[in-house]
Amino acid sequence: MKIVNHLLFDNNNKQVDFKPTPNKGGTYTPQYLVMHYTASTSEKGSINWFLNKEAQASAHLLIDTDGTITQFAPFNIITWHAGISEWNGLVGLNKFSIGIELVNAGRLAKSGSTWISQLDKKTIPDNDVIIATHRNETASTGWQVYSDIQLQVAAEIAAALVKTYSLKDVVGHDEIAPHRKSDPGPAFPMASFRSRAMGRKAATASPFLTTTTVNIRSGAGTQFVTVSDPLPKNTTVEILKREGNWSLVDVTDHIHGLNDIEGWVFSKYLAAK
């Protein structure tokens, strides 16, 4: 991926599909990258929405589940993806951030024994659903998984954007507007995505193994809910942060059908690999 004159070019040096949105502001200097899901399962529907003046919404990029990319405005032009939001003393992140939308249903609803998207009422097959607890909530529910190719393309773009614009961080809409927003949600591997984009992988790469079966929780304490079934003994994890007796870990092994669990475990059950 390459950025030339604030426009994105793919690995074959071809400019990605550019569909200019009317929903934009003036020029600005981006400091952050904000990740979103569309809630709509339709790429076409999302594109039409961002091109519709009445929507009053847009983003710089949309990435479909098959990795197809659409750009709606140059990266130095404000788009309308963040709304009322706050991060690190900045208020109204549209003026300070690039927005990437991923086509993904996000939070699902149960209809009988079937998971359906809340916005467009599409059936989501069980193997595209994870049961997880949102970082800002305490109860678990179903979320549509992101496809590997979609995450791969997004990660490559994020790294190119961080490098080109010297971005300070990658954040979720649910971090900058926690009371209003759930995207990109628990199906999005934020910790590893962020480290990869920021080039921090090398600094945090020393792997650890669980020495027994351990609970993995949404916070540093036994009062926090578990984010998945317990991690089996000898699961490989990376430590992202330590707090008291607890470690925030990114599970690098593929377990319980999930490819990116993140949560807190008791540090004494971790040993350097």
What's the min distance (Å) between Cβ of 173 and Zn ion? Answer: 3
Interaction between residue 174 and Zn ion (CB under 5 A): no
Among residues 64, 128, 175, 183, the one that binds Zn ion under rule CB under 5 A: 183
Number of residues that bind Zn ion (CB under 5 A): 3
What's the min distance (Å) between Cβ of 174 and Zn ion? Answer: 8
Q: In what order do the strands lie in the sheet with 270-272?
A: 262-266, 246-251, 236-243, 207-210, 270-272
Q: Transcribe 18-49 into DSSP letters.
A: E---S-EEEE----EEEEEE-S-S-HHHHHHH
> How many CA atoms are closer than 13 Å to the CA of 11, on its beta-carbon side?
6
Known catalytic residue at 101: yes
Interaction between residue 194 and Zn ion (CB under 5 A): no
What's the min distance (Å) between Cβ of 122 and Zn ion? Answer: 19
Give the SS3 label for residue 183.
Answer: coil
Q: 190-198 vs 148-165: helix axis angle to the nearest 10?
A: 40
Rounded CA separation 70/50 (Å): 11
What's the min distance (Å) between Cβ of 36 and Zn ion? Answer: 3
Written as one letter, the residue type at 13 is N
66 φψ region: left (φ > 0), alpha (ψ -120 to 50), beta (else): alpha
Interaction between residue 173 and Zn ion (CB under 5 A): yes
What's the min distance (Å) between Cβ of 199 and Zn ion? Answer: 25
> 240: how many CB neighbours lie within 10 A of its CB?
17
Written as one letter, the residue type at 126 is D
> 57: how many CB neighbours lie within 10 A of its CB?
17
End-to-end CA distance of the chain: 34
Site pattern 19..58 for Zn ion (x: CB under 5 A): -----------------x----------------------
Q: Which is nearer to Zn ion, 142 or 184 (CB)?
A: 184
Q: Which is nearer to Zn ion, 142 or 172 (CB)?
A: 172
What's the min distance (Å) between Cβ of 97 and Zn ion? Answer: 11
Active-site residue identified among 43, 54, 86, 101: 101
Is the Cβ–Cβ distance between 24 and 77 less than 8 Å?
A: yes
Rounded CA separation 161/158 (Å): 5
Q: Which residues are catalytic?
A: 101
List residues binding Zn ion (CB under 5 A): 36, 173, 183
